């Protein structure tokens, strides 16, 4: 039993090798292809970072301009996909919409050869924001938005589609940083799902659909949405802390704290907290940030748990005017870069991922004919 507990969730076990990202390494910290996440968030654009993840190197100016041009060209929705999105009920889970749309796109623009994989990765990166925003806007208002904008960045494109107007520079940068921080995180549940599917030599879209399914779960992608609920019906830091204490007394998990890999701090948290604070200074309900800091301090002092990326990301998105139901689909719009990188890496030196299991059932039974049972 002790051995089974040790292996539960495969915590602490290596399931393969990757050159894409370091996670949980106290010396190296979080790095994408060797680049520190703090430096990338501060100095790079999401377009530069997504190029890095898909191609292994940061782009030159000429390469970046060509890449951005391809992303702009890939934003449009095929007519069949657009009509399908309009048929999906407004009550649907937005992650189901993302998964369904990805699957349908795989039938409209199938991967006929693995040589198409980078082209498909760029297409999915470009079209996922359009899928998310088009379905949400149509399902809520019945209006058909134009997804083929000429915004230079994905961050601007997303905020423009949702708000109906271009964001200001601070809003665009806050979204850009969030996309960078969520882009990649080694063998997390959704990425590992994608790699398992890819290891069977399945197509690109199937691998991504599997990853979306894993990300849909509350213990993976839904934490940022759940974090925002901590502030509902609270007006002061004292009320917010009291609510956390009440939830803990009821044996409820406080989402947005702790991490499966990080032990002392999430290296991404300070980055997103910085932008959440700046946005709060211009937001109507900026007092949410003060409550968030009070919760963070109480959890650290009394539970020795630190805020992870999801906690302040919830505020970041809220201050940007993004509906809570789209927090996890936004995760997809970013993490598609990491998933794509891992799918391609898995294919490069592929071995079927097929672990064994320790059998704990009944050793042997004699078969009894149905008339004697």
| Residues assigned a catalytic role | 220, 259, 310
291 CB neighbour count, 10 Å cutoff: 23
Give CA–CA dist 116/251, Å, rounded: 49
Instruction: Write 197-201 long-range contacts (CB < 8 A, 24+).
Output: 198/342, 198/343, 198/346, 198/347, 198/350, 199/346, 199/350, 199/351, 199/352, 199/353, 200/352, 201/347, 201/350
Cβ-contact 314, 224 below 8 angstroms: yes
Cβ-contact 157, 108 below 8 angstroms: no
**Mode of pairing for the β-strands spanning 31-32 and 35-36:** antiparallel
Q: What is the DSSP string of 202-259?
A: --HHHHHHHHHHHHTSTTTTSHHHHHHGGGTT--SHHHHHHHHHHHHHTT---TTB--
Angle at 265 between CA 336 and CA 153, to 5 degrees: 30
Longest dimension (CA), the chain: 78
Give CA–CA dist 170/159, Å, rounded: 12
Give CA–CA dist 24/45, Å, rounded: 24
């Amino acid at each position: 039993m002790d051995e089974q507990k040790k292996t539960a969730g495969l915590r602490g076990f290596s399931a393969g090798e990757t050159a894409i990202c370091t996670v949980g390494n106290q010396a190296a910290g979080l790095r994408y292809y060797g680049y520190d996440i703090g430096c990338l968030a501060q100095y790079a654009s999401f377009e530069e970072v997504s190029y890095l993840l898909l191609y292994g190197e940061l782009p030159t100016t000429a390469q970046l301009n060509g890449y951005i041009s391809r992303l702009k060209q890939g934003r449009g929705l095929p007519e069949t996909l657009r009509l399908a999105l309009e048929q999906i009920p407004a009550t649907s889970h937005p992650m189901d919409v993302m998964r369904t749309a990805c699957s349908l796109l795989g039938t409209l623009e199938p991967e006929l050869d693995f040589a198409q994989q980078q082209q498909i990765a760029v297409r999915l990166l470009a079209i996922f924001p359009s899928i998310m925003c088009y379905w949400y806007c149509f399902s809520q208002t019945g209006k058909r938005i134009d997804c083929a904008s000429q915004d230079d960045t994905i961050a601007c494109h997303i905020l423009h589609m949702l708000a109906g107007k271009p964001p200001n520079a601070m809003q665009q940068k806050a979204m850009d940083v969030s996309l960078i921080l969520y882009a990649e995180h080694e063998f997390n549940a959704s990425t590992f799902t994608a790699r398992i599917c890819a290891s069977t030599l399945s197509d690109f879209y199937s691998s991504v659909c599997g990853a979306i399914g894993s990300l849909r779960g509350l213990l993976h992608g839904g934490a940022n949405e759940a974090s925002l609920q901590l502030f509902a019906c609270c007006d002061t830091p004292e009320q917010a802390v009291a609510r956390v204490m009440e939830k803990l007394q009821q044996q409820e998990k406080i989402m947005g704290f702790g991490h499966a890999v990080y032990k002392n701090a999430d290296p991404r948290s300070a980055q997103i907290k910085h932008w959440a604070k700046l946005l709060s200074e211009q937001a109507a309900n900026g007092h949410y940030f003060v409550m968030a800091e009070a919760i963070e301090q109480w959890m650290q002092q009394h539970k020795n748990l630190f805020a992870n990326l999801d906690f302040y990301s919830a505020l970041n998105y809220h201050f940007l005017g993004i509906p809570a139901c789209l927090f996890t689909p936004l995760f997809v719009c970013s993490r598609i870069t990491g998933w794509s990188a891992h799918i391609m890496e898995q294919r490069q030196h592929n071995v079927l991922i097929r672990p064994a299991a320790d059998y704990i059932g009944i050793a042997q039974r004699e078969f009894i004919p149905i008339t004697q049972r």
